[in-house]
Chain A
Amino acid sequence: MIKVDDGNQTRISQGDIYKNIEYIEYAHEIDGYIEISKIIFPLVVVLTQDCDLEQDFKFREATDKTKDKILFSVLVAPMYNADSVFDGTHLDDVYEQEKSMEPISRKTPGKFLKQNERCRYHYLEFPEGTQLAPIIIDFKHYFSININQLISCRKDHFVYRMSELYREDLSLRFANFLSRIGLP
């Protein structure tokens, strides 16, 4: 079980959890119409390094500085309901298909996943009172959000921030996932 807090009140931070975040898949102009496809993720967690986010905030606020440290986007990963991931149903509403993902047995594979021994996934249980069900972060589904968009909706969409030790663990495991070497 991890710990969470109310986070940094002034800026986006690594380990922040946000609700109802939109990922724009495409925006096409066709015959005088614009068609936009987006996926709305109920929960995401911020993966971008906190020092980069801090620098972005300082340079964004200052009027006498260059734009050297300003970020274009924030890296996040979706947080899925753990039971849905085990059932393989967590993306059924995206793909409009039942059991659109491979189910994961709750026996040995599920136990490995819960012990964070599968590099693709990060399992989290939250303290009572947070109203957060057990969730699984799927590193394979990371995506970026325009930082201005996230700043503008930060207050309304912020849920919690993972406490320090747990966000360091998350960051390290994500780095390991990205830098893994696929052996034949």
Chain B
Amino acid sequence: MHKTNTASSEYRPSESTDYEPSESTEIIASKTEQEISAEVDIEDSLYGKDRPRRIKIRRKIVYD
């Protein structure tokens, strides 16, 4: 059961992690960053209310 709590901004995982895809990056997990961020917004913002999540990144290797 999640309750909506947007008043507190204490916990915003999407701001503090640096796994934003670049042009050459393709997230191949079933959930996009935007979807994950939306889920976080409707979750209780207390620390410890979030769940771990798996993210897969696929990036082309550029050789010099």
Contacts and interface: CB of A to CB of B under 8 A. Distances in A.
Interface stretch (A59-67, A78-86, A115-123): A78-86
Interface residues of A, number: 39
B16 A32 contact: no
B16 A90 contact: no
Given A20-B13, A157-B16, A42 B59 contact: no
Interface stretch (A6-14, A50-58, A129-137): A129-137
A175 interface: no
Nearest to B53: A93
Given A22-B17, A40-B17, A131-B10, A35 B50 contact: no
| Chain B interface SS verdict (over half) | loop
Nearest to B10: A131
A92 interface: yes
Given A94-B51, A131-B47, 15 more contacts: A19-B13, A19-B16, A19-B47, A20-B17, A29-B61, A34-B58, A34-B59, A38-B56, A42-B13, A80-B48, A91-B52, A93-B54, A94-B52, A132-B48, A135-B48
